[in-house]
Amino acid sequence: MNSTTIRAFAAGIIVATGILAAIYYTSDTKNNANLSSEEVDQYLKDHNQVAISNDELKALTEKQKTVTTTANTETNQPEKNAKPTEKKEEPKQETVEKATLTVSKGMATSEVCDFLEKHKIIKDGDDFLKYLRKHKLEGAVRAGKYKVNSKMTYKKLADTIT
């Protein structure tokens, strides 16, 4: 490219910008910034919505936080959807799942995690795999037979199989 070509290109950009500016400032498009309150009210009514002030929003938010906190701290209160005559169900006794894990030589750690999840020893095999990776134990799983149960923590499980 020589200097004449660059000058012609720059001149073209300036002319195009001038044309776009002229169109923008002379067009008769309706400016939405000048809406009347009647138009806003009609829009809200048509869309089944309401408008509230920032103060009202803050008050509602604080009230919701208070209700949530109160509901979490007061365990003797009946549930919102529960009938007044119904008794609360007593929590079920937690069952302890037991299994014998057989790890064979060359078995992938993810297979071990899947086995533990399938037999309900752990809730999520991916979480246990992440735990093993985080603690650099993924490759340390040893072949053998292990008795495991659902009361064991990730640390206890990892200590057992490594």
Q: Tell me: the pLDDT tens digits for 54-112?
A: 888 888 888 777 766 655 555 455 555 555 555 566 666 678 888 898 988 888 888 99
Please tell me the predicted confidence (pLDDT) of residue 27: 82
Strand partners, 102: 145
In angstroms, the CA 50 to CA 59 distance is 16
State residue 36's pLDDT score.
84
Q: What's the confidence (pLDDT) of residue 22?
A: 92
Q: What is the mean pLDDT of the chain?
A: 82
Average pLDDT over residues 16-27: 92
- State how far the alpha carbon of 81 is from the alpha carbons of 39, 46, 77, 84, 85, in Å: 40, 32, 12, 9, 12
pLDDT value of position 34: 76
The better pLDDT of the pair 64, 8 is held by 8
Closest alpha carbon to 114 in 104, 105, 101: 101
CA distances, 85 to each of 79, 80, 81, 91, 92 (Å): 12, 13, 12, 18, 21
- Give the three-state DSSP class for 83: coil
Q: Higher confidence at residue 119 or residue 93?
A: 119
Of the candidates 103, 98, 84, the one whose C-alpha atom is nearest the C-alpha of residue 141 is 103
Confidence of residue 138 (pLDDT cuts 50, 70, 90): confident
Residue 83 confidence (pLDDT): 53
Tokens, residue 134 = 């985080």
Looking up tokens 């044309």 gives: 19
